[in-house]
Amino acid sequence: MATTQGTYPLERITNLARKVEQYREILLSNLVLVGEIPAPSGQEEERINFILEKFLQLGLENCATDEIGNAVAILPGSKRKHSILLTAHVDVPFEITANHTYTLEENKVWGIGVADNSLGVATLLSLPIFLKKLNITLENDLILLGAVKSLEQSNQEGLKFFLANTQKKPHCALLLEGSPLGRLNFRSMSTFGGQITCQINRRLSEASAIEMICQIIQSLKTLPLAEEEHTVLTLGSIEGGASYKYPARSCNLKFQIRSNSDQTIKNLIQKIYQILDNISQHPGLSVHLKTIATSIAGGLNSSHPLVLKARNIQEKLDITPQDNIYSPVISPFVEHNIPALCLGLTNADNLHYLDEYIEIEPCSKGLAQLIGLLLLIDKEIDLCRT
């Protein structure tokens, strides 16, 4: 399939899934090899070394790690006018000591982090081989980035570092997530994820820190949340105390507020500080608010050509689109004014649990979607900047 001349016809994309299916062992092999290497946020070195080895084997250019530990390489295009960034986060929300053994069944792959995000990384590693097998040469450079320190408190530190420091600013970006197929995020909401910690000084008070957190929750529930800006408060997790017999000495609450408006989030954070100031008048109580993660609002509009093309491809491949257009992963690109889409590659379940799995069969559609979109972007790259 020669594809370097002219616009890539949308009709051909339906054939891509069938063609990609022939080479699924390449994806599955990379999935197992990379997924069985533990990579909690901040401890991704071994996984990054594996990725770099693979990049080198593939003969890519500029294979390197940057100062923060990201793995980067370039698949050179034939004209090299612009560059497209393809990225997947390499960290998983599991400790090194967890059992990382993967199991392949005829239709499923089981293993921790298989969907989030070993499949994304495996796709990053397999794509250059697929392009070669399909005789596809892009005109523009493709930057492949395995990003570290993405999850939870890491707050996409690796990706942010790359975007802030790269000498080769990408014209647009595609982010790979294992699931769900049909995912298409192109906007980020303004978000603030925080942790409120209450601590009681036992010399001054016999109160329970859990009761204090409950009072804070009551106050948080009174915050004005503007519906028109889709402002939402989520109480995510709570933990505290050491025994059922004694009043808890410490307790913490993790929460998130999100909205379409950065200003609304700023105002809400101020109000939360006021709530905490009020409650900390209680003798012997100290209250702290720590930022877990933030993102800013922005991204592409639904009518942007990149979004429309992605929707067209999903339709051609009979992929059911997911409703949610927002994801915080878009936020770092908003900061740098780079158009970005986040794609899901297959169906999965039990994410972040020990029985996490992905379905194998839909992967070929997920890959065809990616390759098709890359081809369309490559041919009409100026549309990205519309």
Partner 1 sequence: MQNINNWLQTNTFHHSQFEDLKRLVEAKEKQNLTISVCIPTLNEEKTIGKEIVIFRSELMEQYPLIDELAVIDSGSTDRTLEVAASFGADVYLSAEILPRWGFKRGKGENLWKAIYQLKGDIIVYVDADIKNIHPRFVYGLVAPLIFRPEIKYVKAFYDRPLALSDQIRPSGGGRVTEILIRPLFSLFFPELTALIQPLSGEYAVRREVLESIPFPIGYGVETSHLIDVYSDWGLEALAQTDLDKRVHRHQSTRDLGKMAFGILRVFFKRLKEKGMLECLPELSYYLRQFQVKKDTYEQIVYEIFEEERPPMLQVPEYREKMGLNPL
Q: Can you give the binding site for partner 1, defined by CB under 8 A?
A: 23, 25-26, 28-30, 32-33, 36, 57, 101-106, 129
Neighbours of 64 (CB within 10 A): 12
Kindly state the smallest distance separating residue 40's Cβ from partner 1, in Å.
18
Q: Residue 197: enclosing H or E segment and its boundaries? A: strand 190-200
Q: Which is nearer to partner 1, 25 or 228 (CB)?
A: 25
Q: Which is nearer to partner 1, 130 or 162 (CB)?
A: 130
Kindly state the smallest distance separating residue 113's Cβ from partner 1, in Å.
15
Q: Which is nearer to partner 1, 101 or 234 (CB)?
A: 101
For 15-35, the DSSP string reads: HHHHHHHTTHHHHHHHHHHHH
CA distance 29 to 35: 10
Q: Which is nearer to partner 1, 11 or 25 (CB)?
A: 25
- Phi, psi (rounded to 5 degrees) for 116: -120, 85
Q: Which of 45, 40, 60, 64 is nearest to 125 (CA)?
A: 60
Residue with tokens 């009020």: 278
Q: Which of 3, 1, 2 is nearest to 376 (CA)?
A: 3
Structure tokens at 65: 């790690």
Q: How is residue 382 annotated by DSSP?
A: G
Kindly state the smallest distance separating residue 341's Cβ from partner 1, in Å.
28
Kindly state the smallest distance separating residue 361's Cβ from partner 1, in Å.
11
Q: Which is nearer to partner 1, 144 or 174 (CB)?
A: 144
Q: Where are the beta strands (DSSP E) in 208-332?
A: 232-240, 250-259, 285-295, 298-299
| CA triple 107-108-110, angle to 5 deg | 160
Q: Which is nearer to partner 1, 126 or 191 (CB)?
A: 126
Kindly state the smallest distance separating residue 34's Cβ from partner 1, in Å.
11
Kindly state the smallest distance separating residue 130's Cβ from partner 1, in Å.
11
Burial 164-181 (b: 16+ CB within 10 A, else e): eebeeebbbbbbbbbbbb
The answer to whether residues 139 and 78 touch, using CB atoms and an 8 Å cutoff, is yes
Kindly state the smallest distance separating residue 331's Cβ from partner 1, in Å.
35
Q: Which is nearer to partner 1, 108 or 311 (CB)?
A: 108
Kindly state the smallest distance separating residue 92's Cβ from partner 1, in Å.
17
The answer to whether residues 50 and 42 touch, using CB atoms and an 8 Å cutoff, is no
CA distance 86 to 173: 6
Q: Which is nearer to partner 1, 30 or 150 (CB)?
A: 30
